[in-house]
Amino acid sequence: MQGMGMETPTTSRWDEVGAMREGWLQGARRVVSSHCDERPAGVIPELVVVHGISLPPGEFGGPFVDRLFTGTLDPRDHPFFAQIQGLRVSAHVLIRRDGELVQYVPFHRRAWHAGVSAFQGREACNDFSIGIELEGTDEIPYEAVQYQRLAAVIRRLRERYPAIGPGRVVGHCHIAPGRKTDPGPAFDWVRLEVLLGWRPGP
């Protein structure tokens, strides 16, 4: 059973994330995306949406996620890229397989990550959510360091946006069922909740 032998909430170098200044996490590699805009007036983040991404599909590493989120992906680099040429998408943060943290959009702005979506009857989740991509696929287990890093980012976000709590960290699959499947069955939600202290460890 995935999750057995999971980390307990102890301190490691991945448990700490730099302070947030002007919507940016200190210490994250910053790759500024223009694929974003202002949130509706008076709307602040209340939800975290966890995604999974790999480019090309099933391959990890390389510059291609950065290029997708900045609109510089060259369709000549891989046959799959022709299918997504011109796609204008982004996320706030990417967590790579080795735990590297990359930020594309400041948290107070609206990243274009969720698409057509709804949470508890409220549509247009981009308006009130933060999108966090994990480098991975639906079927390949995510790395332990990615869970640790994700939990650390969520803890930092809660300091600024306290409405983000239990029940308000969801997958893309939950807000766009039938259209999206990520982060997929490979993602261990219990493991994340244990790291966040939202449920007891084994």
- 37 located within any domain: yes
- 141 located within any domain: yes
Each residue's pLDDT tens digit, 90-131: 999 999 999 999 999 999 999 999 999 999 999 999 999 999
Task: Report the C-alpha gap between 27 and 175 in whole angstroms.
Answer: 30
Task: Report the C-alpha gap between 68 and 167 in whole angstroms.
Answer: 30
Each residue's pLDDT tens digit, 158-201: 999 999 999 999 999 999 999 999 999 999 999 999 999 999 88
Catalytic residue list: 133
Each residue's pLDDT tens digit, 32-90: 999 999 999 999 999 999 999 999 999 999 999 999 999 999 999 999 999 999 999 99
Closest CA to 109 of 20, 21, 48, 37: 37
- 56 located within any domain: yes
- 201 located within any domain: no
- Domain hosting 174: range is 20-196
- 11 located within any domain: no
Report the predicted TM-score, pTM, of the whole model to 2 decimal places.
Answer: 0.93
- 5 located within any domain: no
